Amino acid sequence: MGEEERDSPADREAGVREIPKWARRYAQNRTLAVVVAHLIFLTGGLAFAGLGYLTVRAVMHGAKAQAAGCVVVLSGLTVLWAWFTIAGQGAMQKVSAALYRGEGEVSGGPWLWGEGERPPRGAVMTLAFCSLAQAGLGLIGALPAHYAQPVSALYAVPIMIWIGVTRAPEPKTALMFLWPMLYGAHAVLMVAGAPISRGVAFDLLFPVVGYGLVAALGGHIYSRHARRRLRALAKTPESEE
């Protein structure tokens, strides 16, 4: 009798009504491309830091040829990074399609801007202005290096939440809000004196990339759950993959 109750028309109808909800959740949490983007950002950040260190060291030791070489490589990396920042969205959409090619297509991508969508221009310009202003204050010594991450959280966290909330047609995955939440918590811990500082480069790079990876991986794990739930509702047998 228990089996009959589970397979009753009412239960099957309720399961069918659940399919759109779980399909939407699955689509919203396909975040592997976001993981790739963060790994690229981490690699770029380490490359910039390493080249900057080598350039300064070469100048201090009078190695003009080595310093010039570092500047040339650093300039090329800057151009490449600018291209990735401006035009890399299309490339990341292709990466997302390749990563999920065995799972079908969905409208739009999680957290990445879908076709025809653009990040809020005001938010991006505000973030860029505040970042440059903070960098300038740091260069002239008006901002202690220890407080670089907490100060950045004052504008980065609201802007990250603003971008997530104002996305059209909706935030792709609520799990990405873990990113600004953890970034803000990190800033509070630093102001409170927690021994987590490892230098300005680490203090900025780790929260940006590390917490972004945590949020993106959380979305990916949830997408696996949503996919299993969706397949169960659709009565589709699991593939060997």
The domain total for the chain is: 1
pTM greater than 0.85 (yes/no): no
CA-based nearest residue to 152, from 176, 175, 127: 127
- In a domain, residue 26? The reply is yes
* 220 domain-assigned: yes
Domain assignment present for 113: yes
In a domain, 169, yes or no: yes
15 pLDDT exceeds 60? yes
Confidence of residue 32 (pLDDT cuts 50, 70, 90): confident
Over the chain, what is the mean pLDDT?
Answer: 76
Range of the domain at 28: 16-233
The answer to whether position 8 is within a domain reads no
- Encoding tokens for residue 25? 């959740």
Q: Answer yes or no: is 5 within a domain.
A: no
Q: Answer yes or no: is pLDDT of 186 > 90.
A: yes
pLDDT band at 241 (very low <50, low <70, confident <90, very high): very low
Whether 223 contacts 29, CB under 8 Å: yes
Alpha helices in the chain (DSSP H): 2-6, 9-28, 32-60, 64-99, 121-139, 148-165, 178-191, 200-205, 211-233
Residue 1 belongs to a domain = no
Sign of the Cα torsion 181, 183, 186, 190 reads negative
pLDDT band at residue 104 under the 50/70/90 scheme: low
Residue % of the chain over a pLDDT of 70: 77
Q: What is the DSSP letter of 115?
A: T
The per-residue pLDDT for range 35-91, each reduced to its tens digit, is 888 788 777 777 777 777 777 777 777 887 887 887 888 788 777 777 776 666 667
138 within 8 A of 145, measured Cβ to Cβ: yes
